[in-house]
Amino acid sequence: MLHKHFGLKKNPFISNSTIFFKSKILDTSFIKLQTTLCTPQIALITGKIGSGKTSIIKAFVNTLDPMDTKVIMTPIANPSPRSIFKNISSHAGLPKLMYGDDIKLQLINYFDEIRTEGKSVIVILDECHTFSIPVLDQLKTFFDTKSNFSLILVGLPPITKRLRQHVLLPFKQRISIFINTTTLSLEETKNYIEFRLKEAGSTAPVFDEATFPLIHQYSEGVYRMIDQLCFQALTIAYMNKNSIISTDIVESAYNKLDYDF
């Protein structure tokens, strides 16, 4: 087995771990997002594909006590104004209603009930870069109705360009938290790789020191790219019976991924 070849307990770089790499952006994001527990507000998390947006959300939610906070998290791409509220209602576990206004009223009353119990309510919507102007406008109106929940939107950078449109100015002005997931530095890239290996049970070096600058260059410091490139490198080394990942192996792994568009 691949992981045993490198003296590991499991395969690194592909597991859905509940232990998260502590980066500067993660620490800063936590501080910002924790304010959503105190006061209902809107937050926007943006970043490149694979840059850690989902990890930030998962790590933040993992810190929350279900007894204190109700979290409704749903990914939904290209929703209609009606379907987005149906989706929120479904993930909240509420009975299905037919009409959009009834669904919104149902949610507002549900959030009121939760807050009466002394809990916070957080609604997390992924893929917000696919949301149309009517959908974003509906979310603004929904939030304004009672402001009894916090809304966290997660998406790719194009959403920031959309929010510059004059028609969405009222919505943008309601966003109090802006988080942009930056890519990892060379030092952070090395630390991230070693963190994943240690989590998998590594007690000895697996990657040659010279590979880290190359991995950082090819991955551009993007988490998902680092994971993919490193796993490919491990696979090649395993097949060739190499115990240490060299720069040649990293080069070969990158070529196999075919990212030169």
Domain ranges of the chain: 24-181, 184-257
CATH of domain 184-257: 1.10.8.60
pLDDT band at 230 (very low <50, low <70, confident <90, very high): very high
CA distance 52 to 64: 19
Alpha-carbon distances of 88 from 9, 66, 100, 126, 256, rounded to whole Å? 39, 18, 12, 12, 40
The answer to whether residue 145 scores a pLDDT higher than 70 is yes
Q: Which amino acid, residue 259?
A: Y
What percent of the chain is predicted at pLDDT more than 70?
98
User: Is the per-residue pLDDT at 222 higher than 70?
Assistant: yes
User: In terms of Cα–Cα distance, which of 20, 19, 12 is closest to 197?
Assistant: 12
Q: Residue 249: which of 201, 220, 215 has the closest Cα?
A: 215
Contact 128, 153 (CB under 8 A): yes
**Which CATH superfamily is 24-181 part of?**
P-loop containing nucleotide triphosphate hydrolases (3.40.50.300)
**Regarding predicted confidence, which is higher, 259 or 199?**
199
Q: In residues, how long is the chain?
A: 261
| Calpha distance 79→86 (Å, rounded) | 10
* CB-based contact 88:107 (threshold 8 Å): yes
Predicted TM-score (pTM) above 0.85 = yes
Q: Do domains 24-181 and 184-257 have the same CATH topology?
A: no
Closest Cα partner for 228 from 203, 210, 254? 254
Tokens of 47: 């970043």
